[in-house]
DNA sequence: TTGAAAGCGCTAACAC
DNA sequence: GTGTTAGCGCTTTCAA
């Protein structure tokens, strides 16, 4: 209750506003605004005065006020699907770096959180704030559960989807790994190793998984595997992988190699195989997808497809930049950009 | 340039404002505001009218405007140090869930990004927006490089630090793993296994690392290891771990067990040992800290200290809640809250 | 070139 | 109980 009548010391007063700067510089608010927005028609002298005043006061424009006033602000929002997957961190980093090069501000927010239990749900709070902040563009990274709920955003600003297939009609571009190329790389590698019976574990749990399954089928068909290649359904979890392997073991139809939908699933496959006494790669070869840091650990040494995440991030950023530059109204729909992956061969697929 | 003179179809008009709702409901702006902020003194009938109008129009309060107008908004910001570490995702999830239980909104933003290369830097854009959004509280998760730069935030709103020791004077509470208890758990376990020569790998690269080193020293001193226990400096990276092990091997002073500052370092230790022909655990036992998902992978099977991250997150949230409730001005400085860890024993520390 | 004034969507006194 | 009136910090016509 005790009002401090006098500012006793260097009291933490509230940050200086544009008005403070105007007063200090002896000009009007609008001139200050002009200076800070790169206005051309400002005399050198006044510009100097304003800049000095701002410096002295430690003034920084309030982004929230800007956003409210201008109706939109010049920054692109990067929405990461979840914090668990280090894969996405790479993409985000690369995208942000590329945008920064072009002088674009960014804001990174997460789209999902654990719901206290284990599973993830859309973080509506975050999305709401983001919407109200009126970013000038949106890049989503990874599959986002309630993508449709972003409709008011995607409909009004250029949107680029990275490393997912969430795209609705108004998405400017989707940048993702070329799953067909990736799976063909693995299949070819295994075929070269003399593998003739081949299984894909995955396919459930999302569009990416489905896409990789289709890619697998196409590749083995093209290479004439026929009945000797099939799919054992599983989601992205380790448990799913274990069940799939369990089915293979039970039916006595163990293939010579298993390709998993991603690295985590691959680990599950290896674990299940070894628990059943089948050693990897001797008893059965295994390969994954994503080339996460996991696979490089010597004890794991997992052959995996490297999607080139940094490039995905960079290209997504560039698509964003293009779309923003293209102020013709009809932002050019770039469509899908498939980034060519490469294969990283490690112990899990090589016969000793 | 062609201005669409007439709204052709269900054109994506701009979102309804409080004014639209007021008009639709036939009341004033302020009444609408009152209704949406749980005002008591509103007649049932008007409240209904307002709510219905809002519903019809699809009105949602603009958080940015709220924030600007009210001077602060009722949400706590959760600042995650980096997206790479899944560990932090657990803490964030738990904190958010606890806050949600208490009816607190949250906003999760990342504090760092890759700078295009590999290393992380403070994401100033994100911090700036956050500051301007005027959150009612701040929870930081993990060590944040330029923590000092958050001064204007930490000075004005209650701040809780989770899983780090960044604390400046104005931090309300620091919630982290009890490193002393954790390391003593490992040391005790190894001693029980008959280990007499013991090394700690870590100590460089941050306050947490230093704290764990001190904890190790205290534990081995208390247990009378004397000259038989020492520290081999290394940072958090795998490479650092390899160098440390290299020194041990070169000096021919290989201990019977190595405790690493965290799981990643432990993996580096295992890799280096096995590359040199020393098998784990037979030739040398190894243990880590953090109990990340890595350690549970059977091929790794790393004994590790589980810091109970979900509890860290929950307690941090509760400290925040307490601090916010405590509107006496002098927010009670809770100080440090140490969460008791537990030991998860796996193959890497057990003689076969 | 510069300034005055209106307003972005909302909250918060203060009246009625 | 409910409406009126000022702003929050900034951008943006529109005049001067």
B320 shares its domain with B295: no
Mean pLDDT of A60-80: 87
| B62 in reach of chain A (CB within 8 A) | yes
User: CB within 7 A of strand D: which residues qualify?
Assistant: A 14, 17-19, 29-30, 33-34, 36-37, 59, 61-62, 65-66, 68-71; B 26-31, 34, 41-43, 45-47, 65, 68-69, 71
CB A327 within 8 A of CB A157: no
Residue A173 reports pLDDT greater than 90: yes
Q: Which residues pair with B106 in a beta bridge?
A: B76
Q: Which pLDDT value is given to residue B183?
A: 98
- Identify whether A68 is part of a domain: no
Same domain, A204 and A295: yes
For residue A69, is it within any domain?
no
Looking up tokens 């105007």 gives A22
A24: domain CATH number is: 1.10.260.40
Q: Which residues contact B246 (CB under 8 A, 6 or more apart)?
A: B272
Residue A10 has pLDDT above 60, yes or no: no
State the nucleotide closest to B16 in CA–C1' terms: C9
Q: Give yes or no: residues A108 and A225 share one domain.
A: no
pLDDT band at A120 (very low <50, low <70, confident <90, very high): confident
Q: What is the mean pLDDT of chain A?
A: 89
Q: Which residues of chain B have pLDDT under 70?
A: 1-13, 39, 72-73, 115-118, 326-332, 352
Residue A115: band (very low, low, confident or very high) from pLDDT cuts 50, 70, 90: low
Q: Give the per-residue pLDDT at A269.
A: 97
| Phi, psi (deg, nearest 5) at residue A274 | -70, -30
Quickly count: other Cβ atoms within 10 Å of residue B192's Cβ.
Answer: 8
A312-335 pLDDT, tens digit each: 999 999 999 998 876 544 456 678
The predicted structure's pLDDT at residue A71: 77
Domain check: are B92 and B165 in the same one? Answer: yes
* pLDDT of amino acid A134: 87
A294/B contact by beta carbon, under 8 A: yes
Out of B89, B267, B298, the one facing A83 most closely (by C-beta) is B89
Q: Report the pLDDT value the prediction gives residue B2, as an integer from 0 to 100.
A: 34
| Protein residue closest via CA to C1' of D2 | B31
State the maximum Cα–Cα separation within chain A, in Å, rounded to a whole number: 86
- Mark whether B264 and B333 lie in a shared domain: no
Same domain for B191 and B278, yes or no, is yes
Q: Which residue has the tokens 């990897």?
A: A280
**CATH code for the domain of A210:** 3.40.50.2300
Give the pLDDT score at A300.
95
- Asked, for residue B67, whether it belongs to a domain, the answer is no
Determine whether the interchain pair B64/A128 forms a contact, defined as Cβ–Cβ distance below 8 Å: no
Report if residue B323 sits inside a domain.
yes
Q: Do B297 and A267 touch (CB under 8 A)?
A: yes
pLDDT in tens, A266-298: 999 999 999 999 999 999 999 999 999 999 999
Q: How far apart (Å, rounded) are the C-alpha atoms in residues A98 and A309?
A: 13
pLDDT at A184 over 50: yes
Whether A225 and A285 map to the same domain: the answer is: yes
Please provide the size of chain A in residues. 352
What DSSP designation does A234 have?
-
Where does a domain end: A61, A85, A109?
A61
Helix B18-25 to helix B44-57 angle (10° resolution) is: 120
Q: Calculate what percentage of chain A has a pLDDT beyond 70.
A: 92
Q: Please, which positions of strand C sit below 7 A from a protein CB? A: 1-13
Per-residue pLDDT at A213 exceeds 50: yes
Q: Which domain holds residue A51?
A: 2-61
Q: Is the pLDDT of residue A1 over 60?
A: no
Domain co-membership, B298 together with B204: yes
- pLDDT at residue B351 in the model: 82
| A323 found inside a domain | yes
Q: What is the pLDDT of residue A21?
A: 93
Q: Give the CA distances from residue A102 to residues A52, A176, B114, B241, in Å, rounded to whole numbers and listed in that order.
A: 27, 22, 16, 38
Mean pLDDT highest for which of A5-14, A80-89, A239-248, B125-134?
A239-248
Same domain, A196 and A56: no
- Which residues in chain A (144-163) have CB-CB distances under 8 A to chain B? 152, 155-156
Which residues in chain A have their CB less than 8 angstroms from residue B96's CB?
Answer: 113-114, 123
* Average pLDDT of the segment spanning A34-39: 85
C-alpha distances in Å from residue A61, one per residue of A15, A55, A65, A85, A222: 10, 12, 8, 34, 59
CA of A31 to C1' of D14 (A): 15
Number of domains composing chain B: 3
Distance from CA of A219 to the nearest CA of B (A): 30
Burial class (CB in 10 A: 0-12, 13-18, 19+), A303: buried
Q: Which helix (H) or strand (E) covers residue B135, if one does?
A: none
Residues with CB under 7 A from strand C: A 27-31, 34, 41-43, 45-47, 65, 68-69, 71; B 14, 17-19, 29-30, 33, 36-37, 59, 61-62, 65-66, 68-70
Q: Is residue A66 part of a domain?
A: no
Q: Are residues A152 and A254 in the same domain?
A: no
The verdict on B129 and B232 lying in the same domain is no
The predicted pLDDT at position A329 comes to 46
The Cα B352–Cα B344 span in angstroms is: 17
Q: Is B68 domain-assigned? A: no
Q: Which residue has the tokens 């986002």?
A: A144
B186 domain residue, yes or no: yes
- In angstroms, the separation between the Cα of residue B80 and the nearest Cα of chain A is 9
- Please indicate, yes or no, whether residues B162 and B205 belong to a single structural domain of this protein: no
Among the partner residues A108, A271, A294, nearest to B298 by beta-carbon distance: A271
- Residue A202 binned pLDDT confidence (cut-offs 50, 70, 90): very high
Please report the pLDDT score of residue A11 as a whole number: 44
């Amino acid at each position: 209750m005790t009002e401090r009548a006098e500012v006793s010391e260097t009291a933490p007063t509230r940050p200086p506003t544009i008005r403070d700067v105007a007063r200090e510089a002896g000009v009007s608010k609008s001139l200050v605004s002009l200076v800070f927005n790169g206005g051309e028609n400002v005399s050198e002298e006044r510009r100097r005065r304003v800049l000095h005043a701002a410096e002295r006061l430690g003034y920084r424009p309030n982004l929230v006020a800007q956003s409210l006033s201008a109706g939109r602000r010049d920054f692109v929002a990067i929405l990461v699907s979840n914090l668990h997957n280090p894969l996405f961190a790479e993409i985000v980093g690369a995208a942000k770096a590329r945008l920064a090069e072009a002088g674009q501000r960014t804001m990174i927010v997460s789209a999902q959180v654990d719901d206290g239990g284990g599973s993830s749900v859309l973080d509506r709070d975050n999305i709401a704030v983001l919407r109200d902040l009126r970013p000038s563009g949106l890049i989503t990274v990874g599959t986002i559960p309630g993508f449709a709920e972003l409709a008011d955003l995607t409909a009004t600003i250029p949107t680029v989807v990275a490393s997912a297939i969430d795209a609705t009609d108004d998405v400017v571009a989707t940048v993702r790994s070329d799953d067909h190329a990736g799976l063909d790389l693995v299949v070819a590698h295994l075929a070269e190793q003399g593998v003739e019976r081949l299984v894909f574990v995955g396919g459930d749990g999302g569009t990416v998984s489905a896409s990789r399954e289709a890619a697998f089928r196409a590749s083995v068909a093209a290479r004439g595997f026929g009945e000797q290649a099939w799919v054992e359904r599983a989601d992205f979890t380790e448990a799913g992988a274990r069940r799939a392997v369990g089915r293979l073991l039970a039916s006595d139809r163990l293939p010579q190699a298993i390709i998993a939908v991603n690295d985590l699933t691959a680990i599950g496959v290896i674990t299940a195989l070894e628990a059943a006494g089948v050693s990897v790669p001797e008893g059965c070869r295994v390969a994954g997808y994503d080339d996460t840091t996991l696979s490089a650990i010597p004890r794991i040494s997992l052959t995996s497809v490297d999607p080139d995440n940094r490039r995905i991030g960079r290209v997504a950023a560039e698509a964003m930049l293009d779309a923003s530059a293209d102020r013709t109204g009809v932002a050019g729909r770039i469509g899908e950009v498939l980034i060519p992956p490469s294969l990283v061969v490690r112990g899990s697929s090589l016969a000793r």
